[in-house]
Amino acid sequence: MPPFQPASQERVIFNVEWFDPESSLTRDMILYFYIDDGSVELFDRRTNRTFLKRTQVSTIGCKDLSLGSHITILGRHMRIVEYANERTRTFFEEDSQTTFALVKPAAVQHLGKILQIIESEGLKITRARMVQLERHEADRFFAEEQAHCQAAELLAYLTAGPCVALQLTGRDAVLRWRSLMGTTDCLTAGEECADTIQRQFGADRANNALHGSTGCEAAARDLRFFFPAAGAPRPLTSARLAADGSCCVILPHVLAERRLGDVVAAIQASGRLAVTALDLMTLTGPEAERLLEVYRGVLPECGKMVAQMSSGPLVALELSGVEEGQDTVEVLRELAGPRDPHLAALLRPESLRARFGKDLIANAVYCTDLHEDSLMDREYLFRILQPC
3-state secondary structure 302-366: HHHHHHHHCCCCEEEEEEEECCCCCCHHHHHHHHHCCCCHHHHHHHCCCCHHHHHCCCCCCCCEE
Check for a shared fold between 97-237 and 246-384: yes
* Tally of CB atoms within 10 A around 123: 24
Question: What pTM did the predictor assign?
Answer: 0.80
Instruction: For residues 283 and 288, give the distance between their C-alpha atoms in angstroms, rounded to a whole number.
Output: 6
User: Is residue 67 predicted with pLDDT exceeding 50?
Assistant: yes
388 vs 323: which has the higher pLDDT: 323
Mean pLDDT of the chain: 88
CA dist list (Å): 240 to 150, 274, 275, 324, 335: 30, 12, 11, 15, 21
Question: Tell me: the pLDDT tens digits for 308-349?
Answer: 898 889 999 999 999 888 899 999 999 999 999 999 999 999
Task: Write the CATH number of the domain with boundaries 11-93.
Answer: 2.30.29.170
Question: Tell me: the pLDDT tens digits for 87-142?
Answer: 888 887 766 789 999 999 999 999 999 999 999 998 999 999 999 999 989 888 88
CATH architecture observed for domain 97-237: 2-Layer Sandwich (3.30)
Whether 211 is catalytic? yes
Task: Answer yes or no: are the C-beta atoms of 94 and 189 closer than 8 Å.
Answer: no
Out of 70, 77, 110, 211, the active site residue is: 211
Per-residue DSSP letter, 382: I
Q: What class does CATH assign to 246-384?
A: alpha beta
Helix 111-120 with 260-269: angle, nearest 10 deg? 150
User: Is residue 367 predicted with pLDDT exceeding 70?
Assistant: yes
Predicted pLDDT of residue 319: 97
Residue 262 amino acid letter: D
Please, which pLDDT band fits residue 65 given cuts at 50, 70 and 90?
Answer: confident
Domain residue extents for the chain = 11-93, 97-237, 246-384
